[in-house]
Structure 1
Amino acid sequence: MDVHFGNHLDHTPHDTTPGLRSEMLEVTREAFCAGNYKLAVEIYSSQLADPRHLDRGLCLLNADALSGAGRIAEALDFYCTAAKLDRLRVNELGTLVDCIAHTLRIKERIDSKGVSEDEPSLDLFSCQLCKCLFYKPVTLECGHTFCQRCLENNSIKDCYLCRYKLSKTWGAEKPIDFRVNVVLNGLLHKWFCAESEARRCWLEGERMHNERDFINALEKYNKAVEIAPFVSKLLGRRAELHIAMNNFRQAVDDGDTMCQLTPHYPKAHYVKALALSKAGQKEEALKEYLYCVALRPDWIAAKQEAQTLLSEMFSSVFKMDSFQSLMVPHHAGPSTRLKSPSFLLGCLHSTPGRQSQPPNSCKDVLSNPGAETTSPCEKSKTLASVQAVLPGASSLKRKLLDQPQGTTPHNKQLRKDDASSCQKPAACCAGRRVPPQLLDKSDLECSLCMRLFYEPVTTPCGHTFCLKCLERCLDHNPHCPLCKENIAQYLTNRGYHRTLLIEKVLQRYLSEELSERRKVHQEEITELSNLTKEVPIFICTMAFPTITCPLHIFEPCYRLMIRRSMETGTKQFGMCIADNEKGFADYGCMLELKEVKFYPDGGLVVSTVGLSRFKVVSHGHRDGYNTAQIEHLEDQTVEGEGLVALLKLHDSVYSQASAWFSSLKDSMKNQIVSHFGQLPGKDPDMQGSPSGPAWCWWLLAVLPLEQRAQLTILAMTTLRDRLSAIRRVLILVTRKRQPPG
């Protein structure tokens, strides 16, 4: 049995039980804690065999053990005996409440852990904070959406769902300005017009309720309920207002409706229980509180209320002047010594929240404690009342005792008439559904590309665009494309997180259109990934294989080019120098992105390294930057005698280069090393790379040559020609550094 018994140790005999040895008491406690309630019952019952010498502490311990064993009807007798000896205190009834709640869980087939307080389950269009339809939805930087009022009232500093830290925090000079998501707000008003209007009236009523303007608040609540009678939380708020206004009957009615709409929503039963308690209907209130504990076993407040009501009821039913009439001859067994209170038996066999109790119920006994004990007619009336709750039961106690321990028969009466009594839309039962006739693809199109949103992102000002569209706009101007509000801070933080709610709406309601949109995007990415037919060209400076090339990029066209090279996964682009006639030179070097750093102004610094040389076959343009169709260049390999001569030339030029570098001033050498690194060593295989030895390119990058001369050497496809050209340059620069005569 999944029940927590936290009160049995409080029911010790307080060292007033001479018949029970301390070691026996310890054994019994261990048996109880281990769940061996049968053994605990046997030991306790043996000590209570003589009804003339009853110990209150032992009665309570035995009652707890019987409850744990599922013998609740017998347990009630011993609780009654303890109540006769002294008033039952609230903390002494915890085990009884747990056991009754456990029985209800079995009966209603509720999971052993109960149900979540979030019942009814949330759908796509419910705010995770207020659990209701979004009203004035706000999308945070992280992409999650909440009601504007929920964010403001809860002083949100980070996202409730993902704990993303917002860029501005409460307590600063200027608090976070939560702006409504324009697209989502329009869709919600269009798709759920009635409920949105009801939500508006509801929140106006909330404000008046908080200001204690009860009359006007009730008017707003009534209007909201008239528009949307299926919203359980709305009925709950109106019930709370009725309680504040002492309109207990109306509060009970709202609680009843809540329980019909959401039978397994703990808060619904709690509201009804509170209303019933205020209305003086203690028995019905107790049932609802017990059902709350069945639904949420960890709900301490509901459990305390149930224990308090039980304590009061035991005290009122078993007053000293009426208690003797409940006693039967002493030769009877312990389970028949007392008549169990009818209100508790009713709790076990009625389903709270489904239907109000008839006027002639067990509460009559509670309002007149002596009635049950003085009149056989009253006893018959009480039994008839209980039989009305459980039809066909000739004897409640026999019904309980005949079933296996720890189980209770499931109530197969589903009360379909109650479930359908309230005209509620499908939104209440299976989540809100967008009416097909109101679905319009154009409502979910980007205002920049005029296509269906793809990776939608929402700016701090509340406007939504495709991620790629927004990035291209921000390359040119740090202002919202629609309202022109400055969103430089958003640009600085790179808070490009997709708006998850819009993505889910697209996936659910426009899945075919979204698949087509995704297909078009993938085709574009594939086209951009082809680094032979269309290579993006950065027109700037000379670049060489294996040599690092840091770049500061601020032009919008090159920002776009760098992003695309990262999005496609190639992380490559071509580098060429400018040409007055063709736009850029016919030869260049492919660069690979290693690191990208973004700056508040939208600019970026990229770290690249040269990969390979290429020849331009044709020139082109795309979205503001240059492109080219290229052919990669490779050095011709040499063998035989030519290889021997090439190796001799290679070693000679390398020695010449080392001597030149060593002759430089320390300041110049340090500057070169900090930018390009040390002179690379000789490669074991000088023809191992298609571009030749790395030291040649390092030397070409640091030698004081014009770019056109460097370009000529870059275009050479034989290592011999390149080494010969470098040797001539070294001779020239060495002569210039030598003093005349």
Structure 2
Amino acid sequence: KRKNSCVFLLVIVEAMPESQSLLEIQQIVEKQLECTLCFSLLVEPVTTECGHTFCKQCLHLSSLHSACCPVCRTRLSGRLPATNTIIQALLEECMGDKYKARLAETKSTKKNQAPLNEESTLGLFILDCVLPRQHLKLHVFEPRYRRLIARTLEKTPPLLGMVAMNESQLSSVVSECEIIDHTALPDGRFLCEVVGRRRLRLRRDWESHDGYRIAAVQEWTDDPLTTEEHTQVEEISIKLKSDIDLWIQKVKETSWHTRRQLLDLVLQHLASPPVDDPEAFGLWITALINPLPPLGLAPEIRLEALTQSSSISRLRLCQRTISISLAHLNQRTNIHRSLLGFLLFVSAQFLSFLIRAISRTFVAPIALINRLLLGNDDNNNNHLGIIGRVHLPLEGVGQ
């Protein structure tokens, strides 16, 4: 490495005029070893296919915005190149203390930008609230959210916060979501699928240096139930269980194939209902009747259900919402039955008309031809006057 770096340095020096002083040569070399993105000495230098060299971290951040070279706009492969060992050795040999100071500065910055404490802070994706066990597919194209996804994928597990806007402000509840599947596209976009894990309370938020917001969050659980409320919850849960079964049946009876497929997928994601846990059961019901994408068969209550601190209030909210949805589905059933009866009546009338038309068109002429050819004892004279009686030859038939 030292030999190659010295050869590289000699090439630079020999290309300079003899009048250049040593200090000027050093300044020119230092200028050549600067990153054109951060305008500082290169750290972990990487050279692209088109021949331009950048800091590894700088090129990574640039790739989140665009898949092209920042200098000449040549489309890159999408993979970060390996460290250029020749330029790395040249930096170590020629820049000396300056390079050591630059390394110390970079390490300090990385320490301050270490992965956030997942128990207290989360990067926020401002779009919609996601309920526990609920799945949501994302097409991430904004630069700030591409950086958020890239940062999140570096963690284990890859957790981020989904939050909705409530009257031009962030909602007080954050949905902790895990990225369970992702595809990085060549132009820097991401196709992701996230699943809701739990709800968190938003304490405060601020903007990160990458453009997306970060939130300080706290776990949000329901208030403890009294003995009387436990009894009420059990009664409501039993009633809700039967209402859910009826609701699923009505949706399948009154919906097209696509909607039934979506409902089956939602039930597969949600698994069996946690009837023994009032908080989880209320959120499970909400995720069923308000899935993503929406079925459009029940009023939207996700945000209201997430911000409830009382399990019994949430279950009553679900009970009212299912009652409204069932009334709507029953109305759809009556309309479908009326429409089906009308269609059957019209079909029967049309079939009767068709049979009569066919009879008039074909049956009467066929009967007339039969009478003319085979004869009729009551009307022989009339028929003979027209074409005469038809006699079949019997020669050769036998005795």
- Asked if these proteins are the same fold (TM beyond 0.5), I'd say yes
Q: Distance in 2 between matches of 1:502 and 1:697?
A: 58
* Alignment correspondent of 2:84: 499
* Alignment correspondent of 2:54: 465
* Alignment correspondent of 1:607: 193
SS in 1 for 2:328: helix
Q: Distance in 1 between matches of 2:104 and 2:167?
A: 45
Which of 161, 167, 176 is the matching residue for 1:574? Answer: 161
Q: Distance in 2 between matches of 1:472 and 1:592?
A: 23
Which of 582, 588, 592 is the matching residue for 2:174? Answer: 588
Shift of 1:634: 1.1
SS in 2 for 1:644: helix
* Alignment correspondent of 1:542: 129
Q: Distance in 2 between matches of 1:695 and 1:566?
A: 27
Describe how 1:569-718 pairs up with structure 2 within 5 A: 569=156, 571-582=158-169, 584-622=170-208, 623-638=210-225, 640-665=227-252, 667=257, 668-674=259-265, 677=268, 680-683=271-274, 685-686=276-277, 691=280, 695-702=284-291, 704=296, 705=298, 709-718=301-310
Matched residue type, 1:460: E
Greater fraction strand: 2
Q: Distance in 1 between matches of 2:177 and 2:269?
A: 21
Shift of 1:725: 0.7
Q: Distance in 2 between matches of 1:695 and 1:525?
A: 35
SS in 2 for 1:550: strand
Closer/same/farther in 2, CA of residues 723 and 610 from structure 1, 3 Å limit: same
Would you say 1:523 and 2:112 are equivalent positions? yes
Per-residue CA deviation, residues 31-55 of structure 1 (Å, 9 max, x unaligned), is: xxxxxxxxxxxxxxxxxxxxxxxxx
Q: Distance in 1 between matches of 2:269 and 2:226?
A: 30
Shift of 1:648: 2.6
* Alignment correspondent of 1:485: 73
* Alignment correspondent of 2:318: 726
Q: Is the radius of gyration larger for structure 1 or structure 2? A: 1
Runs of 4 or more consecutive aligned structure 1 residues displaced over 6 Å after TM superposition: none
Which of 28, 36, 39 is the matching residue for 1:447? Answer: 36
SS in 1 for 2:241: helix
Closer/same/farther in 2, CA of residues 441 and 567 from structure 1, 3 Å limit: farther
Shift of 1:571: 1.9
Shift of 1:480: 2.1
Contact 1:657 1:699 in 2 (8 A): no
Q: Distance in 1 between matches of 2:50 and 2:82?
A: 15
Contact 1:538 1:575 in 2 (8 A): yes
Q: Structure 2 unaligned segments of length 5 or more: list them.
A: 17-24, 336-399
Matched residue type, 2:57: K
Q: Distance in 2 between matches of 1:441 and 1:691?
A: 61
Per-residue CA deviation, residues 567-602 of structure 1 (Å, 9 max, x unaligned), is: 3556222112234532x3332311112222111232
Shift of 1:521: 1.2
Closer/same/farther in 2, CA of residues 471 and 513 from structure 1, 3 Å limit: closer
Which of 11, 30, 35 is the matching residue for 1:189? Answer: 11
Q: Structure 1 unaligned segments of length 5 or more: list them.
A: 1-122, 127-132, 136-184, 198-436
Q: Distance in 2 between matches of 1:543 and 1:596?
A: 18
* Alignment correspondent of 2:394: none
Q: Distance in 2 between matches of 1:525 and 1:567?
A: 11
Q: Distance in 1 between matches of 2:323 and 2:202?
A: 32
Shift of 1:498: 3.5
Shift of 1:553: 0.6
Contact 1:588 1:613 in 2 (8 A): yes
Per-residue CA deviation, residues 399-458 of structure 1 (Å, 9 max, x unaligned), is: xxxxxxxxxxxxxxxxxxxxxxxxxxxxxxxxxxxxxx9597665442212344344332
Matched residue count? 312
Contact 1:661 1:669 in 2 (8 A): no
* Alignment correspondent of 2:143: 556
Give the TM-score normalised by structure 2: 0.67
Closer/same/farther in 2, CA of residues 449 and 570 from structure 1, 3 Å limit: farther
Contact 1:452 1:517 in 2 (8 A): no
Contact 2:124 2:212 in 1 (8 A): yes
Describe how 1:380-459 pairs up with structure 2 within 5 A: 444-459=33-48
Shift of 1:189: 3.0
Closer/same/farther in 2, CA of residues 676 and 467 from structure 1, 3 Å limit: farther
Q: Distance in 2 between matches of 1:646 and 1:571?
A: 35
SS in 2 for 1:600: coil
Shift of 1:652: 2.0
User: Please, what is the CA RMSD of the aligned residues?
Assistant: 3.4
Q: Distance in 2 between matches of 1:562 and 1:188?
A: 44
Matched residue type, 2:122: V
Q: Distance in 2 between matches of 1:643 and 1:628?
A: 34
Per-residue CA deviation, residues 512-543 of structure 1 (Å, 9 max, x unaligned), is: 542442222121125xx144765322122231
Q: Distance in 2 between matches of 1:642 and 1:580?
A: 33
SS in 2 for 1:650: helix
Q: Distance in 2 between matches of 1:470 and 1:724?
A: 53
* Alignment correspondent of 1:94: none
Shift of 1:692: 5.3
